[in-house]
Amino acid sequence: MTLENQQKLEKMALSVREHIVRLSTDGGCFTGASLSCADLLVYLYSDFLNVRPDNLQDPTRDYLFLSKGHDVPALYGTFVELGFIDKARLDQHLSTDDHIYWHPNRNVPGVEFHSGSLGHLPSVALGVAMDCRMRGQDNKVIVITGDGELNEGTVWESLLVASAHKINNLTLVVDRNHFQANVATEDLIPLEPLAPKFEAFGCEVRRIDGHNFEQLADTFSALPFSETKPSVIICDTVRGRGLPSIEARADRWFCNFSADEVAELLRELHSQVATTLTSETLTVR
């Protein structure tokens, strides 16, 4: 990857993080889970996917399904940066005048399908991938799940079926930020060793640093990993990445900061010096 491109992606990811922080007030949002996949979404939409504001109805476009729907601020932030939606729509967060709420929905251009209930979109993406193949089209179909989401049996059921049907145009990406809602994954339902689990379900697996654009580019550009198997990319990430004051903290799940804290956190994104936060964090949503 050229230095120029690297800098472009970093700059965009920083802007997306600013959008996420600005959405973390006046009702709040799932800040930590959004920050962990911001780099992934920025890379995919700006450098990898054949998806643009002007080809959203084209059946040969690529598809991205966000199964961990609570990280939608990262998706909407990316959509603003790439011109899918107007920045003014983010000011309508949680207003009934628009459809910008805690989970994605198809009233927002670029959102392929609604989500929020975990474990659904691997199967929906499977159906789309099956149809693309049936029609002889080579669309790439990506579905992003959380790691806590891997508790849901339907994720594994879908991979079992995808593997049986040799659906190699389907790629499941795990945002491995190591946290469920309230506790570390390994303290509740341990997932490791994770890659062998996917391998045992008939997938071809890669594991990378989900914040490293070079690794993201090298890995995604090698898709499909197999002629006969679905692909899985485990992206090791950090919950809250970019805000040292909330990074990798179990008690920062759903954040609803005060206006002053948002101003502090926007500075923190640039300085990388932790702020002292006083807002209570909701652990249940």
Partner 1 sequence: MNYEELIKETALADERLVVMTAENRALIRNLPAVLGPRFIDTGITEQTLIGAAAGLALRGRVPVVHALATFLTLRAFEFIRTDVGIGKLPVKLSGFVPGFLSDGNGPTHQAIEDVSLMRGIPGMTVFAPADEQDMLAMLPAIWASPAPAYVRINTRPATYEHTLFELGKAEIVAEGTDITILTYGMLFEQTLVARELLQAQGKSVGLINLRSLKPIDEAALLDVVRRGSLIVTVEDHFITGGLYSILAEVLLRNQLTARVLPLALEERWYRPGRLSAVLEYEGFTGHHIARRITEYLGESGAAIAEGPAVLENEFAE
Interface mask toward partner 1 for 45-64; x: CB under 8 A = --------------x-----
Q: Does 68 bind partner 1 (CB under 8 A)?
A: no
* Contact residue for partner 1 among 109, 127, 190, 196 (CB under 8 A): 127
62 class by beta-carbon count within 10 Å (0-12 exposed, 13-18 middle, 19+ buried): buried
Element of type H or E holding 140: none
* Contact residue for partner 1 among 92, 154, 256, 279 (CB under 8 A): 154
Two structure tokens written together for 140:
């790439």
Kindly state the smallest distance separating residue 267's Cβ from partner 1, in Å. Answer: 40
**Total number of residues binding partner 1 (CB under 8 A)?**
27
Sole window of 19-27, 106-114, 236-244, 263-271 interacting with partner 1 (rule: CB under 8 A): 106-114
DSSP code at position 25: B
For 121, the 3-state DSSP assignment is helix
Query: Could you write out the three-class secondary structure of 52-69?
Result: CCCCCCCCCCCEEEECCH
Q: In this complex, which beta carbon is closest to partner 1, that of residue 12 or of residue 124?
A: 124
Sole window of 153-161, 171-179, 204-212, 264-272 interacting with partner 1 (rule: CB under 8 A): 153-161
Kindly state the smallest distance separating residue 103's Cβ from partner 1, in Å. Answer: 11
Sign of CA dihedral 126, 155, 227, 224: positive
